Chains A and B, each alone.
Chain A
Amino acid sequence: MKTRILICDDSAMARKQMARALPQDWKTELLYAENGRQALEHVRAGKVDLLLLDLNMPDMDGYTVLERILREDLPVMTLVVSGDIQPQACQRVKSLGAIDFVRKPVERGVLAELLEQFGLYQPDPDSPQPRSAWPEVPPPFSVGLSDYLQEVSNVAMGQAADLLARLLDVFVKLPVPRITTVYRTELSMVLKSAAEHQDTYSAVCQGFTGAGLAGEALLLFSDSSIQDMISLLGYDEVESDSLEIEVLMDMSSILFGAFLRGVGEQMDIHLGLGQPMVLGRHRRVDHLVEYHNQRQEKLMCVEIPYRLEGYDIQCDLLVFLTEESIRQLELKLPYLTE
């Protein structure tokens, strides 16, 4: 009998990766869903034995899907596959009835072992080892550059958040990373839309480069958040002015470092980091980059608004890729998403 599997993830790239990570000698019937709402419909219709579920999705997230399944007592096993690797995320989904938690990007061996543990899959001892790289039916969608970047960012963001969560002992609420194309001349506009409050902001920038990929990461902090951050970090022995720079630099070291390492690992490249630079402090957000927008260049922007649960802390990570990097990535895309 074929096991009916539903892969639910907003990212085409992630759906593709999950389909590929399934053991090839396993008789399955694959279904796909792009959001929680769709997934729930399939499950309610009784079409699914095993649900591979992502957590961060725009239209009904994974937590809500788990809650509904629990409440409606739907007959399905759910395995959460997520880039959010904070210990708390893992606990939360298990308490909501998920059988286990697998971190993205999914490795084939790990998945096979888990499935075996839960008695869902038996490796066929007679089956010859070479497993074709593709399921019998290739997934009915293709992966574009922004979809690829979104998924890579999603995983890297989860790794950065995990460090932050461990350092501060908090839970970081993870959004869906937003990918947009902008021109350099529109930078201040981008920052303005990232900023939620009528507040002043401080920002730190750090350049990165490696294997044809280059750009700059920018951390945008609302000034009211910095005070909260200082107390959360327990910094109190130094006077307040250099303390703020201290917080900015520490946060950028952690978030940029982890994020860019995560991106590098997934693309199998090593990214060199420059010295972070304080772009400005206590300024109106559109004034932060007023002297920096001279050249006309198309950039790709990944925007991640980090929020800490239980705190009014707003901290936005924006990663800008240069025009040349976009060209390079487009060339490499078939190989990267293969």
Chain B
Amino acid sequence: MADDNTPENSGYHALATLLESIEVGLVVIDLDYRVKVWNGFMENHSGMTANRIQNQSLFEAFPDLPKTWLTRKVQSVVTLNTRTFTSWEQRPYLFRFRNTRPVTGTEEFMFQNLTISPLTGTGGQVEQVCLMIYDVTDVASGRRALEHANEQLERLSSTDRLTGLLNRGTWENLLDAEFERYRRYGHNTVLVMFDIDHFKQVNDTYGHLIGDEVIREVARITREALRQADRPGRYGGEEFGIILPETDIDGALVICERIRETLATTVIHTDDGDIRCTVSMGLVQLTDEPENYMQWLQQADDALYQAKEGGRNRSVAIRP
């Protein structure tokens, strides 16, 4: 046994202190998942001391650990003798550590990235495995806050990003306003709901990118067929709505048929080939019957449903 004060020993001691106090979780396990090293970070966050867990099975000490998952990762590290990385995006945490920041902490648990490294013995064989656990709560909560903010911005903006038409929220507000205007002045006004026939097939056959192109093209043709005061909007996936103010049902039918026929004869050129598509439309002129704009919307939806039932690629108008 060497003297404790040799330079090597004090160097080793410094290194051990460093590993003990580093703000990264360090766990060394043998191939039977028995814990050999458990540093200060792990002690502090888990409440389990190194003495207590020394030589214990990791899975017995922490029954909540995802055993199948971790075993598979460790096995591939051992067999292939290569490091592996996992991120909080695939699994938020390995060890369920409570967030310890009462002021700045917005998340309930510590998000963790994990690196699993093989440790070879003198013979070059993998004998142990090191788990390094990084606290990435700040990164994760930052990313989540950003996603949240983007969602809000999306809601706040008035146009639909794909088509440039009004988005659903804005369009519904206009519909509500149009409904109120009718109640006050009684001017003719027509609501149209329409959607692309068999759109699911387009998506399934060509993929979402081409599907998006089709939606964009339908929106473009619709916009070009309308007048200045008309209000088209994207209601959902492949569903659109148009408010036609100062228009009676016959006038509306002329406009809608023009859109429908143009679309039916248009070939949409995409990178994956030429696509044709048709639309079904439901039109309803507003009367005193609906009590709110939602009931008006429901009537237009019913008309759209009849158009679908009637064989698609057609307009169905509900007359006052």
Q: Which residues of chain A are within 8 angstroms of B208 by Cβ–Cβ distance?
A: 200
Tell me, in angstroms, the Cα distance from A258 to B85 when the chains sit together.
Answer: 13
Q: Which residues of chain B are within 8 angstroms of A200 by Cβ–Cβ distance?
A: 207-209
A227: min CB distance to chain B, Å: 13
* Total number of B residues with any Cβ neighbor in A under 8 Å: 22
A245 touches B87 (CB 8 A): yes
Q: Which residues of chain A are within 8 angstroms of B69 by Cβ–Cβ distance?
A: 238
Tell me, in angstroms, the Cα distance from A275 to B115 when the chains sit together.
Answer: 8
Residues 62-90 of B at the A interface (beta carbon under 8 Å): 68-69, 76, 79-80, 82-87, 89-90
Partner of B87, one of A238, A258, A276: A276
Q: Mark A234-262, 1 if CB is under 8 A from B, else 0.
A: 00011000100110011011100110010
Given contacts A167-B76, A237-B68, contact A278 B87 (CB under 8 A): yes
Find the A residue at minimum CB distance from B87.
Answer: A249
Tell me, in angstroms, the Cα distance from A179 to B231 when the chains sit together.
Answer: 54
Q: Which residues of chain B are within 8 angstroms of A237 by Cβ–Cβ distance?
A: 68
Q: Which residues of chain A are within 8 angstroms of B115 by Cβ–Cβ distance?
A: 275
Q: Which residues of chain B are within 8 angstroms of A90 by Cβ–Cβ distance?
A: none
Partner of A257, one of B84, B207, B271: B84
Find the B residue at minimum CB distance from A244.
Answer: B90
Given contacts A163-B80, A198-B271, A237-B68, contact A242 B90 (CB under 8 A): yes
Judge whether A284 is part of the interface by a CB distance below 8 angstroms.
yes
A245 touches B83 (CB 8 A): no
A271: min CB distance to chain B, Å: 11
Judge whether B167 is part of the interface by a CB distance below 8 angstroms.
no
Partner of A242, one of B76, B79, B89: B89
A257 touches B91 (CB 8 A): no
Find the B residue at minimum CB distance from A282.
Answer: B208
B319: min CB distance to chain A, Å: 45
Q: Which residues of chain A are within 8 angstroms of B207 by Cβ–Cβ distance?
A: 198-200
Which of the four size classes fits the interface of chain A? 20 to 34
Judge whether A44 is part of the interface by a CB distance below 8 angstroms.
no
Tell me, in angstroms, the Cα distance from A28 to B69 when the chains sit together.
Answer: 56
Judge whether A166 is part of the interface by a CB distance below 8 angstroms.
yes
Judge whether A273 is part of the interface by a CB distance below 8 angstroms.
yes
Tell me, in angstroms, the Cα distance from A254 to B91 when the chains sit together.
Answer: 19
B60: min CB distance to chain A, Å: 22
Residues 147-172 of A at the B interface (beta carbon under 8 Å): 163, 166-167
A312: min CB distance to chain B, Å: 15
A242 touches B85 (CB 8 A): no
Judge whether B134 is part of the interface by a CB distance below 8 angstroms.
yes
Judge whether B113 is part of the interface by a CB distance below 8 angstroms.
yes
Given contacts A246-B90, A275-B87, A275-B115, contact A261 B209 (CB under 8 A): no
Q: Which residues of chain B are within 8 angstroms of A261 by Cβ–Cβ distance?
A: 82
Tell me, in angstroms, the Cα distance from A163 to B76 when the chains sit together.
Answer: 10
Tell me, in angstroms, the Cα distance from A246 to B86 when the chains sit together.
Answer: 8
A250 touches B84 (CB 8 A): yes
Q: Which residues of chain B are within 8 angstroms of A277 by Cβ–Cβ distance?
A: 87
A265: min CB distance to chain B, Å: 13
Binding site for B on A (CB under 8 A): 163, 166-167, 198-200, 206, 237-238, 242, 245-246, 249-250, 252-254, 257-258, 261, 273, 275-278, 284
Sample (15) of A-B pairs whose CB atoms are under 8 Å apart: A166-B80, A167-B76, A206-B85, A237-B68, A238-B69, A242-B89, A246-B90, A249-B86, A254-B82, A254-B84, A258-B82, A261-B82, A273-B85, A275-B134, A284-B209
The 3 closest A-B pairs by CB, nearest first: A253-B84, A245-B90, A257-B82
Contacts beyond the supplied A166-B80, A198-B272, A275-B113: 6 A-B pairs with Cβ under 8 Å: A163-B80, A200-B207, A206-B85, A242-B89, A273-B85, A278-B87
